[in-house]
Structure 1
Amino acid sequence: MERHSQDSASTQTFVRLDEVDRKILSLLQQDASLSLDQIADRVGASKTPVWNRIRKLREAGVIRRQVAILDPEALGLEACFFVLIRTSEHDREWAANFLQALRERPEVIEAHRLAGDIDYILKIQVRNARAYDRFYQSLIGEVKIHNVTALLSMEEIKSTTALPIG
């Protein structure tokens, strides 16, 4: 594993991975509860070098954190809405208030600032349409928003947290 700058104009660096690093990361993306012995066995290496690689990947920020992925339906959170937001406000104070409002709402499971006609897209996971409406009313009561479009997901076709590191 080596760190490299993307280009001379960029301060962002990326980590160059070898085949063993990629195998380790692929395994961890599929099941982070695998034991060190299981990972070492599957990548064809011994335990200590695998542990050192995982430690270095964490230190380099490649592995941000390890979490349990829960089933929303098993928790009664059956409605997933994608919320498209347009705003006429673009100053720092508005953005800070908007970010704070999103961070305080656990039903917002993703938020992205976009290029193009839509300023933000949110992924909201709630029990039902009434719960979404409570979220919506609360948000617009706190932050000025020009236009909101909510799209209800009828079926999740693909969902993954695994990045294409192949």
Structure 2
Amino acid sequence: MKDGQLDDTDRHILRTLSRDGRISNQKLADTVHLSPTPCWHRVKALEEAGYITGYVATLDQRALGLPDTVIIEVTVDRHDDEIFKAFSDALAELPEVMEAYLLSGEYDYLIKVAVSGTEGYERFLRQKLYKLPGVRHTRSTFALRCLKRAPSVTP
């Protein structure tokens, strides 16, 4: 990486790591056609430059007893910094929430939640989401099937 610009080798490293974050440096180096030391230096440079922000294990929500995904749109009752902060902070503490976005448009938030069927969904709504500060209105949709899931964008 020169002057903050990614070259083809950097992109190849990022693509490979996005598919397998546990790959050994030796195997990564072989995959991207480098020797191990320069490969390790490139990975460290990509981490330091912020292209790589972490490494995670992807968990199977079905195996964890939460096979269903619900997309929930939320409107809060006031649009001020205090409500946005209180809602966002409380939402971040809920383990069922896999993703959450502050939106422009008709709804204020879009939340992706893992639940166990309609009973798990109702429990999440009544015991957790509706108790968060500022919730005025929600609209929910059950996902029937995931067509694509990627942990990050691929360069």
TM-score by length of 1: 0.87
1:68 matched to 2:57? The reply is yes
Structure 1 unpaired stretches of 5+: 4-14
Structure 2 unpaired stretches of 5+: none
1:22 matched to 2:11? The reply is yes
Write out the 4+ residue segments of structure 1 that deviate beyond 4 Å after TM superposition. Answer: none
State the identity as a percent.
35
Q: Which residue of 2 aligns with 1:55?
A: 44
Aligned residue identity for 1:81: V
SS at match of 2:135: coil
Q: Distance in 1 between matches of 2:137 and 2:64?
A: 31
Q: Distance in 2 between matches of 1:51 and 1:117?
A: 46
- Alpha-carbon shift at residue 127 of structure 1 (Å): 1.8
1:107 matched to 2:88? The reply is no
TM-score by length of 2: 0.93
Q: Distance in 2 between matches of 1:81 and 1:65?
A: 26
1:93 matched to 2:82? The reply is yes
- Alpha-carbon shift at residue 164 of structure 1 (Å): 3.0
- Given that 1:24 and 1:39 are in contact with CA atoms closer than 8 Å, whether structure 2 keeps it comes out as yes
SS at match of 2:55: coil
Q: Distance in 1 between matches of 2:9 and 2:34?
A: 9
- Report the aligned-residue RMSD: 1.3
Aligned residue identity for 2:102: R
